[in-house]
Structure 1
Amino acid sequence: RRRVAAARSLGAGAPRRAAIVRDFRRAWQAKDVDALVKLLDPSIVAVADGGGRAMASPVPVRGREAVAEFLVRLAGLAGRLDLLERTVNGQLGLVAMKGGNVLTVYAFDIDDDHIQRIWAIRNPDKLRPWAS
């Protein structure tokens, strides 16, 4: 418990985390690669969990340019999504919805002023709690 608390205390504070997630959401919806790159840590890793039941990248995407470009391509393929700010694992995250259906839940690991890791949960079994 002490290690978890210490690790959380080293990251960005809740207000700063929230601002970063909001800036990320706006940049992603605008498909602004440059704005996304500025929010991402150079060593960022984006991981998706489809659980074999939903489409997801089979390998992690690494590096801020690669992640930003991947996200913009994803936004183009997905079409109009509602990205809602919700608490995910005790921190601000995003829930992607389309037509009232939850498609993906995004959690972020943020340190200082950059997103270091993105977890995209796409496995329908893990999305059930978000559907209500």
Structure 2
Amino acid sequence: MTDVRHEDAGRGFAALRPALMRVAYRMLGSVADAEDILQEAFIRWMKVDRGEVLEPEAFLRRTVTRLCLDQLKSARHQRETYVGPWLPEPVVEEEEEEEEEDVTLPLMLALERLSPLERAAFLLHDVFGLEFEEVATTIQRDAAACRQLAARARTHVREARPRYQVSRHRGLELARAFFTASRSGDMQALGAMLADDISVHADGGGKRPAAAEPILGFEAVMKFHESLAVKLRESGSTLVRAGFVNGLPGFITLEADGELQTTALDIEDGRITAIYVVRNPDKLRHLH
């Protein structure tokens, strides 16, 4: 009888796992850390008196959120000692998938500037649509405080919301064109795609070569890609597939050192305004 109850509990958790993973990943920006959080939540779920749990989804969401808040305390120190620009681990959608991403990469970076409680209140209310009473129960603050936390967060992340979102089809067209131009060294085609205030952010984590600081402005980015194209013509860079990287059009490539790399493009008014490249192999393991 106990085994049957455990099996039922395991199936119930498995059904809720995708939704719980969305909460954990958006809180932490790390696939590996989110997986660890879900494993701990599962262990707690198997130990709890489930007969006393009226709403399993709400109980597990509270458990996951609170575990993430604890994790963020140590994560903040890790970010401060990180080598070079920090980007969240890339989650890649197949190009055929039609689900619109609710939290894009620029928004995730904006969330990094929030306190853990602000991040939790904003995500739970503004992204996942929970009432403030439920948010209050989850993060153990009163509803009025949660409203203030979410309002402060909203002010900080407003600029990260896409104002002129490109269609999925057009986004992928630009991503493929950008790959071709940047690898072949077609500077005229590349320049036509870039906005004047273009920026490049590369996360190597100190484990693979990457720019130590963001590269800012049209001229600097063009110069960077001109020298990069020379290296890539000699060493090679293979397109694995196009898709959506944290909600942005982009692609996965196999580089000359045998490691994967993701590139995500933030696009406004038909021009690329930011390029996000993840090269840190620790952040790409799940893609293999």
Q: How does the TM-score come out when normalised to structure 2? A: 0.41
- The aligned counterpart of 2:169 is 15
Matches within 5 A, 1:1-132: 1=126, 7-8=161-162, 10-78=164-232, 79-84=235-240, 85-98=242-255, 101-130=258-287, 132=288
Shift of residue 7, structure 1, vs aligned partner: 2.8
1:87 Cα deviation after fit: 2.8
Residue by residue over 1:29-48, the C-alpha shift from the partner in whole angstroms, topping out at 9 and shown as x without a partner, is: 22011111110010011011
Point out the structure with the larger strand share.
Answer: 1
Q: CA separation of 1:74/1:103 partners in 2, compared to 1, >3 Å: closer, same or farther?
A: farther
Question: Higher helix fraction: Structure 1 or Structure 2?
Answer: 2
Q: Which runs of 4+ in 1 moved over 6 A?
A: none
CA deviation string 1:82-124 (max 9, x = no partner): 0232331133312220369334211111112100001110111
- Measure, in 2, the Cα distance between the counterparts of 1:76 and 1:99: 13
Q: Higher relative CO (CA 8 A, sep ≥ 6), structure 1 or 2?
A: 1
Counterpart CA distance in 1 for 2:227 and 2:187 is 10
Q: Is the 8 A contact 1:42 1:64 kept in 2?
A: yes
Answer with 112-121 or 73-82: which moved more.
Answer: 73-82
Distance 1:53 1:102 in 2: 11
SS at match of 1:35: helix
User: In the TM superposition, what is the alpha-carbon distance from 1:58 to its structure 2 partner?
Assistant: 0.6
Unpaired segments of 5 or more residues in structure 2? 1-125, 128-153
CA distance in 2, matches of 1:97, 1:13: 26
Looking at structure 2, the residues matched to 88 and 102 of structure 1 have their Cα atoms a distance apart, in angstroms, of: 17
Q: Relative to structure 1, is the Cα distance of residues 82 and 10 closer, same or farther in structure 2, using a 3 angstrom cutoff?
A: same
Radius of gyration: which is bigger?
2
Number of residue equivalences: 130
Contact 1:33/1:69, CA 8 A, preserved across alignment: no
The answer to whether the 8 Å contact 2:248/2:266 transfers is no
Q: Deviations over 1:38-91 (max 9, x none)?
A: 100100110111111111101111122321221231232232110232331133
Q: Which amino acid aligns with 1:15?
A: H
* Alpha carbons of structure 1 residues 13 and 43: separation in structure 2 relative to 1, 3 Å: same
Cα 1:35–1:65 change in 2 (3 A) is farther
Q: How far 1:17 moved relative to its partner?
A: 1.1
User: In the alignment, residue 272 of structure 2 is paired with which amino acid?
Assistant: I
- Give secondary structure in 1 for the equivalent of 2:190: helix
